[in-house]
Amino acid sequence: MPGARVRSGERVTLRTVEEEDIPFVQRALANREIRHPMGNPVLNRRRVAELREDDADRFLVCLDGADAGSGGPDECEVTRIGQVNVTDADYKRPELGYWLVPSVHGEGYGTEAVSLVIDYAFRTYDAPAVGAEAYDFNDASRGLLESLGFRKEGRRRKYMFVDGAHRDMVQYGLLREDWCERTV
């Protein structure tokens, strides 16, 4: 059963990740269409559970049915479609991460979910900016960030070995004042 509602938008809801959600997260992260653009290894359930216990703020991205309450709703009331997270907020600027299951790519859910987590990060942490990264070959992720006002701040050349080649990572940042201007 997904956890309590943290934030809601027009179509998506961010909910806490509970132990019962670990199989969904593990299966999704094993999917090549998700794992490949992130450059992540396949993780077993124990390793996914360890991630849930780290200092990151991790949220399920859900499509809530009409009967879904704010607390832990029944399984049939919620459809899990991804995850967003905020990491590193305790010792440097918050860094955002996100993924959605491939069946909902291109439908605007990612933009809404990342927008909700940006609001969450700026309301929760006294940071002047938030950051995010995307591989140079991940046009969809880079486009999402740029559409929300993130600016390119740098490039880590040949940062990770992904799918048989060393790939560049593009670094992005969004200043608090730029986000506030967009949301007025």
The tens-digit pLDDT sequence of the chain (184 residues) is 567 888 999 999 999 888 888 777 777 666 666 665 555 555 555 665 565 566 678 899 999 866 556 666 666 688 999 999 998 888 889 999 998 999 999 999 999 999 999 999 999 999 999 999 999 999 999 999 999 999 999 999 999 887 788 889 999 999 999 999 987 7
Q: Are strands 95-100 and 129-135 parallel, antiparallel or unpaired?
A: parallel
Fold annotation for 5-182: Aminopeptidase (3.40.630)
pTM attached to this predicted model: 0.85
* CB neighbourhood size of 159 (10 A): 17
Q: What is the pLDDT of residue 78?
A: 85
Length of the chain: 184
The dihedral over CA atoms of 173, 128, 99, 150, expressed in degrees to the nearest 10, equals -30
The tokens for 146 are 């740029």
Q: What is the pLDDT of residue 68?
A: 54
Q: What is the pLDDT of residue 20?
A: 87
